Amino acid sequence: MFIVTDRSKRKKNAVAKSFVITERLQCLGKLIEKKDARMRGWTMEGIEEGCLLTNEAVFTATALCPMKKDDERMHFDPDEFFDIVLRESESEGRG
Protein backbone atom coordinates (compact mmCIF):
# COMPACT_ATOMS: atom_id res chain seq x y z
CA MET A 1 0.00 0.00 0.00
CA PHE A 2 2.96 2.29 0.52
CA ILE A 3 3.70 2.16 -3.20
CA VAL A 4 0.09 2.98 -4.11
CA THR A 5 0.01 5.88 -1.68
CA ASP A 6 3.40 7.17 -2.75
CA ARG A 7 2.59 7.02 -6.46
CA SER A 8 -0.67 8.90 -6.09
CA LYS A 9 0.02 11.36 -3.27
CA ARG A 10 0.26 14.36 -5.59
CA LYS A 11 -2.71 13.36 -7.71
CA LYS A 12 -6.34 14.30 -7.41
CA ASN A 13 -8.44 11.92 -5.26
CA ALA A 14 -5.32 10.12 -4.01
CA VAL A 15 -6.90 9.16 -0.68
CA ALA A 16 -10.09 7.90 -2.31
CA LYS A 17 -8.15 5.87 -4.88
CA SER A 18 -5.95 4.33 -2.20
CA PHE A 19 -9.05 3.45 -0.16
CA VAL A 20 -10.75 1.76 -3.12
CA ILE A 21 -7.63 -0.25 -3.94
CA THR A 22 -7.37 -1.34 -0.31
CA GLU A 23 -11.04 -2.39 -0.25
CA ARG A 24 -10.66 -4.39 -3.47
CA LEU A 25 -7.57 -6.17 -2.16
CA GLN A 26 -9.42 -7.01 1.05
CA CYS A 27 -12.25 -8.50 -1.03
CA LEU A 28 -9.67 -10.59 -2.88
CA GLY A 29 -8.23 -11.69 0.46
CA LYS A 30 -11.67 -12.85 1.57
CA LEU A 31 -12.02 -14.97 -1.57
CA ILE A 32 -8.61 -16.51 -0.97
CA GLU A 33 -9.46 -17.23 2.68
CA LYS A 34 -12.64 -19.06 1.65
CA LYS A 35 -10.42 -21.49 -0.28
CA ASP A 36 -12.78 -21.56 -3.26
CA ALA A 37 -11.61 -24.44 -5.45
CA ARG A 38 -11.72 -22.18 -8.51
CA MET A 39 -8.89 -20.08 -7.11
CA ARG A 40 -6.51 -23.05 -7.42
CA GLY A 41 -6.55 -22.67 -11.20
CA TRP A 42 -4.92 -19.26 -10.99
CA THR A 43 -2.74 -19.52 -7.89
CA MET A 44 -0.01 -21.72 -6.50
CA GLU A 45 1.99 -21.87 -3.29
CA GLY A 46 5.25 -19.96 -3.40
CA ILE A 47 8.57 -21.01 -1.93
CA GLU A 48 8.03 -19.03 1.27
CA GLU A 49 5.30 -20.15 3.64
CA GLY A 50 2.14 -18.08 3.16
CA CYS A 51 3.30 -16.74 -0.21
CA LEU A 52 0.76 -17.27 -2.99
CA LEU A 53 1.79 -16.83 -6.62
CA THR A 54 -1.21 -15.37 -8.42
CA ASN A 55 -2.04 -15.08 -12.10
CA GLU A 56 -2.43 -11.57 -13.50
CA ALA A 57 -6.05 -12.34 -14.46
CA VAL A 58 -6.95 -12.51 -10.75
CA PHE A 59 -5.66 -8.98 -10.21
CA THR A 60 -7.49 -7.76 -13.30
CA ALA A 61 -10.69 -9.26 -11.91
CA THR A 62 -9.95 -7.59 -8.57
CA ALA A 63 -9.90 -4.25 -10.38
CA LEU A 64 -12.98 -4.90 -12.53
CA CYS A 65 -15.40 -6.96 -10.44
CA PRO A 66 -18.36 -5.07 -8.96
CA MET A 67 -18.21 -4.91 -5.19
CA LYS A 68 -21.20 -6.02 -3.10
CA LYS A 69 -22.13 -4.91 0.40
CA ASP A 70 -23.60 -7.14 3.11
CA ASP A 71 -23.81 -6.14 6.77
CA GLU A 72 -21.43 -3.20 6.27
CA ARG A 73 -18.79 -5.46 4.67
CA MET A 74 -17.70 -5.36 1.06
CA HIS A 75 -17.13 -8.52 -0.98
CA PHE A 76 -17.05 -9.89 -4.50
CA ASP A 77 -19.67 -12.28 -5.77
CA PRO A 78 -17.49 -15.35 -6.43
CA ASP A 79 -19.33 -16.32 -9.62
CA GLU A 80 -18.94 -12.83 -11.09
CA PHE A 81 -15.32 -12.70 -9.99
CA PHE A 82 -14.33 -16.02 -11.55
CA ASP A 83 -16.24 -15.21 -14.75
CA ILE A 84 -13.99 -12.16 -15.11
CA VAL A 85 -10.87 -14.19 -14.26
CA LEU A 86 -11.78 -16.74 -16.91
CA ARG A 87 -12.53 -14.06 -19.50
CA GLU A 88 -9.22 -12.30 -18.77
CA SER A 89 -7.28 -15.59 -18.86
CA GLU A 90 -8.68 -16.46 -22.25
CA SER A 91 -7.60 -13.12 -23.68
CA GLU A 92 -3.97 -13.81 -22.75
CA GLY A 93 -3.91 -16.87 -25.02
CA ARG A 94 -5.12 -15.12 -28.15
CA GLY A 95 -2.62 -13.87 -30.57
Q: What is the pLDDT of residues 7-18, one digit of tens each?
A: 666 667 777 777
For 91, how many CA atoms within 13 A lie in the half-sphere containing its CB? Answer: 12
Q: What is the pLDDT of residues 65-85, one digit of tens each?
A: 999 998 888 999 999 999 999
pTM of the complete model beyond 0.75: yes
CB atoms within 10 A of CB 88: 19
Exposed, middle or buried, 62 (CB in 10 Å: 0-12/13-18/19+)?
A: buried
Q: How far apart are CA 67 and CA 53, in angstroms?
A: 23
